[in-house]
Amino acid sequence: MENKKLITAISLILVVFGIIFSLLPHEIHELLTFGANIPHFWHFVMGFIIVSTGLFFIGMSIKNGTFKLQFPKLQERKAILNKIKIPILIAFLIIGFLTLKFSILVESKPETDFDKFKKIAKEYCANPTSTNPRCLTDIKEFKNSSHNYKNAQQTAQEKFGVTGEYTSKDFDPTEFLTTWNFNNLPQEERKKYYKKTKRPDGSLLREYWINVEDKEIEIAPGVFFPAWTYNGQVPGPTIRATEGDLIKIYFTNKGTKPHTMHFHGFHTSKMDGSMTEDFVLPGKSFTYEFEADPFGVHLFHCHAAPVKQHIAKGHYGAYIVDPKNDTRQKADKELVMVMNAFDTNLDGENEVYAVNTKAFYYAMNPIKVKKGELIRIYLINIIEFDPINSFHLHANFFDEYKTGTSLIPDTYTDTLIMGQGERSILDVRFKYPGMYMFHAHVTEFTLRL
C-alpha cells in the first residue's frame, strides 16, 4: 500500500525540516513567520514539536511494520499526487497561511502605548521631516495620551535591555556638560593638562597636554566598548578659547595605532592633522599650534586613516571659540552636548546612541536647570555611519545659532537636523518647572539614547 511510503516520506520531511528550522538564525525565523515578534526560545519549541511529530509517525510505522524507507517510483508518485488532490492541497495551504497570519496578529499586538508609538514612527515617520498625516496625527495623539516621559524612557530601557547602574565612575556625563579646559580638576591637577598665559596683545596663550590612550569605556550599564580616547575619555576634553587666543596642544600618542588631532577652524596645512605625513605614530609626539578662529562651536577629531574607524572608536571632542566681542546676553548655564554612537559589534552600524557617550544617562540623572534662566547648549553631532541625526527638546523652543558663527540666531525652533560634524549653539529658557525630555528626533536613535 503506497500510503505507507507517503507517511514515511512526510514523517522524514517533518524530522528534517524540524531540525533545520531549529538551527536557523532568529532573523530567518522572523522572515518565515512574517516578522512576528516571537522569542527565539519558542522557535526552538516549534522545531521540537515538528521533529517530535515526525518521529512519532516513524515510531508508529515501525511498530505497525509499515515503515517503508523506499522512495516511491514515478508511477506511485503520480498515484500519490492523484490521491492528495490539488484543490484540497491549495485549501490546506490557504487555511495554514491564514492561521499563521492570525496568530502573528495576536502575537504582535502592541503591548503598550510606547510599542504603538514605535510602530507608527517606524512606518510613517522614518524621516524626521516627514509630513505623512499619520505620522503627525498619531504622534500628536500619543503625546496627548496618558503616557509620560518617564514611562516611555523606562519602556525604552527595558526594550533595549538598558537597565541597571553604571559601574565605572571614571567619566561623568553630568560633569562633562560644564567642563572645558579641565576646569573640573583641582588647581594642582589641572596644571598637568592646561595652562594659560597672558600675551602682550591681551589675548591668551592656552596650552594643553593631550594623550591618546586605548581604553575600555562604559557606554551603557555593563556594556564596555574598546575606545580610542583623548586623555582616557570619550568625547575628549573640551577645548575652549576666545577668538584670537593662541592654542598649543602637546599631543602624545600612547595608543597602538597612528592618531592625530584635526581641528575645525583656521590653521595652516601643517597643523591640519589629516595627511599621512601628519599621522602621529605610537609613542611619538607632535605640537599643534593655531589661533582660535573663527568664533563658534566646533570640534576636533582624529583624522588618521580610516577616519571612519577613528571616529567610530570615540576619537573626537568639542572645541568652542567664544567671540571676542559678545553682544549676546550672558548665559546662566552652559552645557556641552556631543551626540555620539557606538558600533558595538563592528558591523558598520551603531547599536548604542547617546548624548555624551553614556546611553540613557540623563534619563537616569536629569540635567538640573532653573526656571527662566538662560541656558546655552553647545551641540555637536559626530555620529558615524548614520547620515543624519536630529535634536528635539520637549515643551520648549530655542534660538539656534548655526555653527555658532553669528551673534544673531538663525532660527527659532524646537527640532533641528544635523549631518555628521554639524553643530549649533542653542539658547533656551524653561517657562515651566518640570521634567522635560530631549532626544534625537530620528526615532530609531531616540529609543537607544
Does 262 engage in binding with Cu ion (CB under 5 A)?
no
Residue 44 CB, shortest distance to Cu ion, in Å, is 43
Q: 310, 358, 439, 448: which one contacts Cu ion (CB under 5 A)?
A: 310
Considering only 184-192, 307-315, 352-360, 364-372, which stretch makes contact with Cu ion by CB under 5 A? 307-315
CB of 445 to Cu ion, least distance (A): 24
Residue of 304, 292, 380 lying closest to 336 (CA atoms): 380
Nearest residue to Cu ion, scored by beta-carbon proximity: 302
Judged by CB, which is closer to Cu ion: 117, or 225? 225
Q: DSSP E strands: which ranges in 259-327?
A: 262-263, 285-291, 296-301, 316-322
What span, in angstroms and rounded, lies between the C-alpha atoms of 103 and 101? 5
Residue 138 backbone dihedrals phi, psi, to 5 degrees: -70, -35
Nearer to Cu ion, 128 or 317 (CB): 317
22 in Cβ contact with 54 (< 8 Å) = no
Taking the least distance from each CB to Cu ion, the nearer of 382 and 425 is: 382
CB nearer Cu ion, residue 43 or residue 262: 262
Please report whether residue 302 would count as binding Cu ion according to CB under 5 A.
Answer: yes
Least distance (Å) between residue 349 CB and Cu ion = 20
Angle between helix 113-124 and 149-159 (nearest 10): 80
Q: Does 215 bind Cu ion (CB under 5 A)?
A: no
User: What minimum distance in Å lies between the beta carbon of 229 and Cu ion?
Assistant: 9
**Beta bridge mates, 318:** 299
259 belongs to the binding site for Cu ion (CB under 5 A)? yes
C-beta of residue 313 within 8 angstroms of C-beta of residue 256: no
Each residue 153-182 as x (binds Cu ion by CB under 5 A) or -, in order, gives: ------------------------------
Scanning 137-145, 297-305, 399-407, 414-422 for contacts with Cu ion by CB under 5 A, the matching segment is 297-305
CA 348 – CA 354 distance, rounded (Å): 17
Judged by CB under 5 A, which stretch of 241-249, 256-264, 275-283, 318-326 contacts Cu ion?
256-264
Give the CA distances from residue 344 to residues 311, 352, 370, in Å, rounded to whole numbers and listed in that order.
13, 7, 36
The region that residue 127 occupies, defined by phi over 0 for left and psi between -120 and 50 for alpha, beta otherwise, is beta
Read off the C-alpha cell for 279: 599621522
Using rule CB under 5 A, residue 301 touches Cu ion: no
The least distance separating Cu ion from the CB of residue 311, rounded to whole angstroms, comes to: 8
What is the amino acid identity at position 449? L
**Nearest distance, CB of residue 322 and Cu ion, angstroms:** 27
Radius of gyration of the chain (CA): 30
- Of 304 and 449, which has the nearer Cβ to Cu ion? 304
Distance in Å, CB of 46 to Cu ion, minimum: 47
How near is the Cβ of 261 to Cu ion at its closest, in Å? 9
Query: What span, in angstroms and rounded, lies between the C-alpha atoms of 346 and 268?
Result: 35
Q: Which stretch binds Cu ion (CB under 5 A): 153-161, 272-280, 314-322, 349-357?
A: 314-322
Prior bond of 226 cis (ω within 30°)? no
Stretch that binds Cu ion, among 27-35, 164-172, 301-309, 337-345 (CB under 5 A): 301-309
Query: Closer CB to Cu ion, residue 103 or residue 252?
Result: 252
Considering only residues 321 through 360, tell me which ones interact with Cu ion, judged by CB under 5 A. Answer: none
Using CB under 5 A, pick the residue from 215, 240, 264, 315 that binds Cu ion. Answer: 315
Burial class (CB in 10 A: 0-12, 13-18, 19+), 328: middle
Q: 281 or 407: whose CB is closer to Cu ion? A: 281
Tell me how far, at minimum, the Cβ of 277 lies from Cu ion, in Å: 16
372 CB contacts (<8 Å, ≥6 apart)? 429, 430, 431
Contact criterion met (CB below 8 Å) for 149 and 435: yes
Q: Report how many residues bind Cu ion under the rule CB under 5 A.
A: 5
In the complex, least distance from residue 121 CB atom to Cu ion, rounded to whole angstroms: 34
Question: Beta partners for 340?
Answer: 354
Instruction: Give the one residue of 162, 247, 304, 355 binding Cu ion; rule: CB under 5 A.
Output: 304
The smaller minimum CB distance to Cu ion, of residues 72 and 258, is found at 258
Q: Which three cell numbers stand for residue 63?
A: 511498530
Q: Which of 335, 360, 319 is nearest to 428 (CA)?
A: 335
| Rounded-to-integer distance, Cα 27 and Cα 103, Å | 18
**Stretches 56-64, 123-131, 302-310, 379-387: which one binds Cu ion (CB under 5 A)?**
302-310
Give the C-alpha separation, 134 to 274, whole Å.
46
Site of interaction with Cu ion (CB under 5 A):
259, 302, 304, 310, 315
